[in-house]
Amino acid sequence: MTKGICMNWTPEEELVFVARRRTRNIMIGIVLAAFAALFYGITVSKLVV
Amino acid sequence: MATNPLHAENGRTPSAVLPASGGAPARSDTLPVSEWRDFWALLKPRVMALVVFTGACGLVAAPGALSPFLSFVAILCIATGAGAAAAFNQWWETDIDGIMQRTANRPLPAGRLSRDEALGFAIILSVASVVTLAFAANWVAAAWLAFSIFFYAVVYTIWLKPRTPQNIVIGGAAGAFPPIIGWAAVTGDVTTLPVLLFAIIFAWTPPHFWSLALFVRTDYAKAGIPMLPVTHGITETRRQILLYSLVLVAVSVLPWVLGLVGAIYGVAAAVLGAVFLFLSVAVFRSRTEASADMEAERQLFKYSIIYLFLIFAALVADVMAA
């Protein structure tokens, strides 16, 4: 459990905040990983050709 | 609790992500949680489908060939760039979307995503798609992609849309770039045919969009967006729809007239265009002012989507057959 993000938040609100942040980080991670894989694929593809 | 931004938002219950031992049940009406599908919705996937299709058609129609993998990457970049532009659009129009019934449940106005998250996502996707396209294909295609994102996000969304009823006429260019980008990805340049493909989508956008705007005009009026039916009335919009439909049909047969494509495309363009004109005349002759009764407008709107798919499919069929 993350503590102290905002003193006015209830435990439920803090859970939601953490869940939202996790979703955002996962989405950005997926996008960056996908493009990194594409770059690798492009490099290999051009080397092969 | 004014310090908590989540309090002002409405949307899905967060209970789906709360652990079973997560304490007291959450208040489903005040605490929305974002999910992967909210990020997906930010990209306007239905619009993206049309962009992918027309971009792929431009790529296939171009002389020369890109390897299947690089073609896939190029189309993915066009799709991602279009998605990024849509995310910019929703980031800028969060307040307007919240007013309009049609858009009020989008992730930003519904509070399931924050504006910062949307902007960050849009920037990452824009940069990644442009740079990747440059490496996969060439910088000409990448520059066109960057320009199309800029055009949609800045020229259309920020500048034109809130200012002029001609917003979607000029702004429609943003949606017309994909065939040019697809073509440039293969050839590294832009010639007459991709420019004509651009012109087809450009001329198609006003009748497509205004037929929708006619039966949702109260939404636009409520949001203060100067769409043609709001600023110039229903009759003038119907007249403009017919005029642009005539332009569309004329432009759509030009590739055939100029000998750039064969008879398969030519016949398809003529037949599809005739149906388009028929439906546009029905809209022009309609006198109904009640949105619920605007069947002619609904028919034209639905057909316009099918029309664009079919005319580009005919182009590909023609090129494959040649």
Q: For the segment B266-321, what is each residue's pLDDT rounded down to a tens digit?
A: 999 999 999 999 999 999 999 998 888 899 999 999 999 999 999 999 999 999 99
Per-residue pLDDT at A7: 66
Residue B136 at interface with chain A, using a CB cutoff of 8 Å: yes
Asked if B304 has any chain A CB less than 8 Å from its own CB, the reply is no
Chain B residues inside the 8 Å CB shell of A27: 36, 39, 121
Q: Are B228 and B240 in contact (CB under 8 A)?
A: yes
Q: Is the pLDDT of residue B174 over 90?
A: no
B13-22, B85-94, B101-110: which range is least confident on average?
Answer: B13-22
B137-153 average pLDDT score: 96
Average pLDDT over residues B204-221: 91
Residue B39 touches chain A, beta carbons under 8 Å? yes
Tell me which of A7-11, A20-24, B77-81 is least confident: A7-11
Terminal alpha carbon distance of chain A: 51
Query: What average pLDDT does chain B have?
Result: 88
Q: Are A18 and A11 in contact (CB under 8 A)?
A: no
Cα–Cα distance measured from residue B23 to residue A12, given in angstroms and rounded to the nearest whole number: 8
The pLDDT score that the predictor gives to residue A5 is 58
Q: What is the mean pLDDT of residues B82-94?
A: 95
Residue type, B102: R
Right CATH for B39-190 from 3.40.50.720, 3.90.1170.50, 1.10.357.140, 3.40.50.2300: 1.10.357.140
Q: Which of A15, A32, A41 is nearest residue B69 as measured by Cβ atoms?
A: A41
Distance between A32 CA and the closest CA of chain B, angstroms? 8
Look up the ipTM and state it. Answer: 0.74
Per the CB < 8 A criterion, the answer to whether B68 and B113 are in contact is no
Option in B36, B125, B136 nearest A23 (CB): B36
Task: For B165, list phi and psi in degrees, rounded to 5.
Answer: -70, -10
For residue A49, the model assigns a pLDDT of 57
Q: How far apart are CA B183 and CA B78, in angstroms?
A: 12
Q: B2-56: per-residue pLDDT in tens?
A: 333 333 333 333 333 333 333 333 444 455 777 888 999 999 998 888 899 999 9
Compute the distance between CA of residue B153 and CA of residue B147 in angstroms, rounded to an integer.
Answer: 10
CB contact at 8 A, B272 and B307: yes
Q: Check CB contact of B63 with chain A, cutoff 8 Å.
A: no
Nearest partner of B49 among B37, B57, B61, judged by Cα: B57
What are the structure tokens assigned to B19, written together?
């652990």
Instruction: Give the pLDDT band of residue B219 (cuts 50, 70, 90).
Output: confident
Q: Decide if pLDDT at A18 tops 90.
A: no
Cα–chain-centroid distance for residue B121? Answer: 18
Among the partner-chain residues A6, A17, A20, the one whose CB lies closest to the CB of B3 is: A6
How many CB atoms neighbour CB B299 within 10 A? 14
pLDDT of residue B12: 39
Q: Does A42 touch chain B (CB under 8 A)?
A: yes
Which residues, 6 or more positions from B158, have their beta carbon under 8 angstroms from its beta carbon?
A: B92
Contact across the interface for B14 and A38, Cβ inside 8 Å:
no
| Cα of A41 to nearest chain B Cα, Å | 8
Residue B90: the pLDDT is 95
Nearest residue on chain A to B80, alpha-carbon basis: A31
Q: How many residues does chain A have?
A: 49
Instruction: Determine contact: B64 vs chain A, CB below 8 A.
Output: no
For residue range B177-194, what is the model confidence (pLDDT) as tens digits? 999 999 999 999 999 999
* Assigned token pair, B304: 């316009």
Which one, of B179, B180, B166, B195, lies nearest residue B255 by Cα? B195
Contact of B163 with B144, CB cutoff 8 Å: no
Rounded average pLDDT over B65-79: 93
Q: What's chain B's length in residues?
A: 322
A14 — contact with chain B (CB < 8 Å)?
no
For the cut 70, the answer to whether the pLDDT of residue B200 exceeds it is: yes
Say which amino acid occupies A9.
W
Residues 6+ apart with CB under 8 A from B190: B140, B144, B180, B183, B184
pLDDT value for B305? 94
Residue B189 CB neighbour total at 10 angstroms: 12
Nearest to B86 by CA among B67, B101, B104, B106: B106
CATH class for the region spanning B191-322: mainly alpha
Instruction: Identify which of B206, B205, B200, B201 has the alpha carbon closest to the alpha carbon of residue B232.
Output: B206
> Matching CATH topology for B39-190 and B191-322?
no
- Hey, where are the domains in chain B? 39-190, 191-322
In this predicted structure, what is the pLDDT of residue B185? 97
Q: Is A4 on the interface with B (CB under 8 A)?
A: no
Is residue B228's pLDDT more than 50? yes
- The answer to whether B48 touches B82, Cβ cutoff 8 Å, is yes
- Are A16 and B33 in contact (CB < 8 Å)? yes
